[in-house]
């Protein structure tokens, strides 16, 4: 199984492995913002400590041998080390790579999520062991659906009652699934 690169760069961004020390900056940039987490699987953090624990775990995943653990990068503007978002991939086996991404609200609308996602989708589909790059988003998250489309993914269908977004309530919600395959 291919291992994703620990760092990568695009035209405007650099991506790197997170660390617990990033917690205050990630908290301030986006992780404490319920508008950002509206459709996500996690609620906005109200304290830095649990976020630091999450980031420590995210960093540790890069060291483990289990190829199917989620791997996350922090996204920074080129030339800075300050996180403005995150992107992640899970190599699920069976040739599949599943992606997720988030950006601080201040940086929405500049095509940056698509820039990072396109880079990783291209990486994934260049690996001999990977055939399918995909993501899903809440059916109401039209911005995210557009990001997937801009990264070359094609809408495949509606996953009914697929995903709980705790900010919106306890019930699983319908999601769109999009993929690029080779
Ligand atoms: C989803 C998200 C990562 C999109 O990132 P982005 O870099 O802002 O996306 P883009 O700039 O490519 O914009 C995508 C589309 O959103 C719309 N859009 C543009 N500006 C926008 C703004 N300020 N606010 C909301 N939507 C906007 C446009 O339709 C745009 O498509 P276009 O480029 O064809 O015009 C970002 O909105 C985000 O972090 N949301 C919260 C977390 C989340 O929902 N993640 C996805 C989970 S599946």
What is the pTM for the complete model shown?
0.97
Residue 106, CB half-sphere, CA atoms under 13 Å: how many?
Answer: 8
Residue nearest to atom 42 of ligand 1 (CA): 102
**Domain architecture of the chain: domains with CATH:** 8-133 (3.40.630.30)
Closest ligand 1 atom to Cα of 138: 48
Q: Which residues line ligand 1 (CB under 6 A)?
A: 36, 39-40, 100-103, 108-114, 137, 141, 143-144, 146-147, 150
Residue 86, CB half-sphere, CA atoms under 13 Å: how many?
Answer: 25
Structure tokens at 153: 């993914």
Query: What does the alpha-carbon distance between residue 158 and residue 63 come to, in Å, rounded to a whole number?
Result: 35
Do 84 and 29 touch, CB atoms closer than 8 A?
yes
State the pLDDT at residue 67: 87
Interval between CA 37 and ligand 1 midpoint (Å): 13
| Mutation choice for ligand 1 from 109, 137, 149, 173, CB with most ligand atoms inside 8 A | 109
Q: State the 10-residue block means of pLDDT for the chain, 182 residues long.
A: 92 98 98 98 98 98 93 97 98 97 98 98 98 98 98 98 98 98 98
State the pLDDT at residue 65: 87
Structure tokens at 18: 């997170």
Closest ligand 1 atom to Cα of 103: 39
Query: What does the alpha-carbon distance between residue 111 and residue 177 come to, in Å, rounded to a whole number?
Result: 20
């Amino acid at each position: 199984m291919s291992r994703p690169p620990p760092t990568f760069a695009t035209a405007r961004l650099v991506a790197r492995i997170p660390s617990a020390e990033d917690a205050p900056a990630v908290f301030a940039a986006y992780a404490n913002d319920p508008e950002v987490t509206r459709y996500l699987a996690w609620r906005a953090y109200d304290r830095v400590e649990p976020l630091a624990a999450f980031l420590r775990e995210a960093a540790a995943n890069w060291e483990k041998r289990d190829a199917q653990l989620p791997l996350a990068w922090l996204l920074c503007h080129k030339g800075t080390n300050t996180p403005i978002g995150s992107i992640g991939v899970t190599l699920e086996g069976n040739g599949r790579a599943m992606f997720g991404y988030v950006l601080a609200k201040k940086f929405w609308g500049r095509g940056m999520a698509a820039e990072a996602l396109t880079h990783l989708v291209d990486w994934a589909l260049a690996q001999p062991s990977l055939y399918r790059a995909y993501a899903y988003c809440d059916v109401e998250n039209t911005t995210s659906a557009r990001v997937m489309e801009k990264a070359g993914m094609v809408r495949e269908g509606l996953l009914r009652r697929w995903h709980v977004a705790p900010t919106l309530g306890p019930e699983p919600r319908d999601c769109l699934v999009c993929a690029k395959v080779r």
